[in-house]
Amino acid sequence: MTEWEKSKSGKPHVYNDEMEKMHKEAKKLYQEYNKTTDEDEVRREEILSKLLKKKGKNVWIEPTLHCEFGSNITIGNDVFINCNCILMDNTEIVIGNNVLLGPNVCLYTANHAFDPVERANAICINKPIYIGNRVWLSGDIKVVGGVKIGDDSIIGAGSVVIHDIPSGVIAAGNPCRVIREITENDKLM
């Protein structure tokens, strides 16, 4: 099994030259994307089709965007990703349909070894992140690998999400915890 295969399957691995080359290719693409303007919709589509594993319809990503590889990112339909988002896709990141990511949202699938000797030897382990449908991650949120956020949930600004969040709740804090369920009383109209 290659280091890349280990990386994607959640096994301990060492970030190697092959992965560095892939990262540099992704970096060229996202840096090019970050230079575009709203009028460059066709060019943005071309870049994202090369960068991402899969992208649904009606996806809008405000520059700046940063990622590790891009090839591990799946984005559903009708998704808005605001400025300065970091998607560290060392393994799979799946973003559902009708999702809103606020500014400065960071999704981190990678983790360094806890053991200091292993960490000094660049040993890492990755865990996927899954974001359900109709989820809103407001601003300045960090989500670590291994987390699943259920459908219809809201994560409050400034949260650090280190555990799964169930469907249909408002959660916030550091660490992020469920505040309450979303109910019919939350409807604006």
- For the ranges 14-18, 27-31, 67-71, the lowest mean pLDDT is seen at 14-18
CATH class entry, domain 3-184: mainly beta
Residue ranges covered by each domain of the chain:
3-184
- Residue 46 predicted with pLDDT over 90: yes
Choosing from 13, 23, 66, 112, the catalytic residue is 112
CB burial of 23-55 (b: ≥16 within 10 Å; e: otherwise) equals beebbebbeebeeeeeeeeeebeebbeebbeeb
In this predicted structure, what is the pLDDT of residue 175? 98
For residues 143 and 160, give the distance between their C-alpha atoms in angstroms, rounded to a whole number: 6
Looking at the chain, the whole-number percentage of residues with pLDDT higher than 90 is: 97
The mean predicted confidence, pLDDT, of the chain is 97
Q: With 90 as the cut, is the pLDDT of residue 174 above it?
A: yes
- pLDDT tens digits for range 101-131: 999 999 999 999 999 999 999 899 999 999 9
Catalytic residue status for 13: no
pLDDT value for 189: 85
pTM of the model: 0.96
Residue that has been written with the tokens 């984005």 in this structure? 75
First-last CA distance in the chain:
54
| Mean pLDDT for the stretch of residues 50-67 | 98
